[in-house]
Amino acid sequence: MMSVFGTVQPGYEAVREAFAVGQEGDAGDAQLAVYRDGRMVVDLWSGSWSGDSAVILMSCTKGMMATCVHMLAQQGRLDIDATVTTYWPEFSAADVTVRHLLTHSAGLPGFARSTGIDAEKILDWDACTEVLAAADPLWKPGTAYRYHSLTFGHLVGEVIRRITGQTPGQFFRSSVAEPLGLSLWLGLPADEESRVEPIFSTNPLPSVDETLAQLASFGIDVTEPVLRTVMEDRQAGEAAGSLFNSREGHAAEIPAANGIGNARSLARMYAALMGEVDGVRLLTPDQAAVAAVPQTDDLPAAGEFARIPTPHPLRFALGYEAPRPGNPMLGSSSFGHTGLGGRLSFADPDSGIAVGYTCTNGSWNVYEGADPRWLPWLDALRTTL
């Protein structure tokens, strides 16, 4: 069986065993941390890692940004139903609200190739936000949704910057990470670089060209604007893949994807959304309840995506993911966010459980159901509870 290191509190021994089962045969390293009612009860890692090692978190970063938005809302500095132009006057789509940004229903799911935002330009904050400020939504905001895989971070991040005067990474650091003592960054300092482990994938997604050819064979119109824009964004993401293992990529702020940290810190942050952790609580019970309400159940997929059979469709609350078959978390009260390849972070208010799971091998395909590495220890957690 896979060697596992770290500790569990009495009663959580089965979680340790299940974590080892889930990692058996995995080519990479992983971490699992669990808090219950504000106290760490599981702190495990496998392979050559330590519990203090860090890794790119991919879209778990979106949960970090959602947390910032809800903190600003409860401080009275942000109205989720206000238009984006309230805070960002240069933003031209006057009917897009902050809620639309948080629920991936704003109609701005990608940087079209014509805008010039490519693998190099994605590091240029001003270039990215200027393009988004001038863009026309590809559907009427709030009437459909499609995952804003990269643009979510710049859209939400610029709203945070306009309100606070800080970059989203600076605001997260001062308002979330420092009060909780987290090893969690958006924009990694140079003196933390040695802690970061490189990522890879033994199960990469099909290329954009392969995907388009398959969709075309099903009779899908691959020239339709929403689908085309999303695929162009994916193509730029493929080209930018090496950035995620570079100092340049770690130092930048790409708030949809390049947060860096470890499982301990993810779990601790989500624990502080539900209750006090060493005297720090991030959200009030009312704000946490608002954040977790599913928002997209009655919305169709946008454009040609409505015609593509999707056995495990994404489901969103306000900035966080809501439970679904491909990401069951611990049940209907859970909210959090996955990251491309298998990173996972969430809170479950009904049980008081908060989870962080990180991995170096991004082998999980979001379209194939839940990551098999998660399932043993999720089952063990349910049994323990």
236-240, 242-246, 247-251: the lowest-pLDDT one:
236-240
Query: For residue 170, is pLDDT > 80?
Result: yes
On whether the CB atoms of residues 256 and 151 are closer than 8 A, the answer is yes
pLDDT at 365: 86
Q: What is the pLDDT of residues 12-65, one digit of tens each?
A: 999 999 999 999 999 999 999 999 999 999 999 999 999 999 999 999 999 999
Over range 334-343, report the average pLDDT: 97
Query: Does residue 183 have an active-site annotation?
Result: no
**Residue 273, phi then psi, degrees to nearest 5:** -80, -20
Query: What tokens does 29 get?
Result: 């390293």
Q: How many CB atoms lie within 10 A of CB 269?
A: 27
The H or E element that residue 261 is part of is strand 260-261
Give the separation between CA 19 and CA 378, rounded to whole angstroms.
9
pLDDT at 181: 98
pLDDT at 56: 97
Give the separation between CA 6 and CA 176, rounded to whole angstroms.
25
Q: What is the DSSP string of 64-116?
A: HHHHHHHHHHHTTS--TTSBGGGT-TT---TT-BHHHHHTT-SS--S--GGGT
Closest CA to 148 of 360, 331, 362, 321: 321
Active-site residue among 46, 53, 59, 363? 59
What is the CB-side half-sphere exposure of residue 180 using CA atoms within 13 A? 28
DSSP assignment letter at 367: G
For the whole model, what pTM was predicted? 0.97
Which amino acid, one-letter code, is at 258? Answer: N
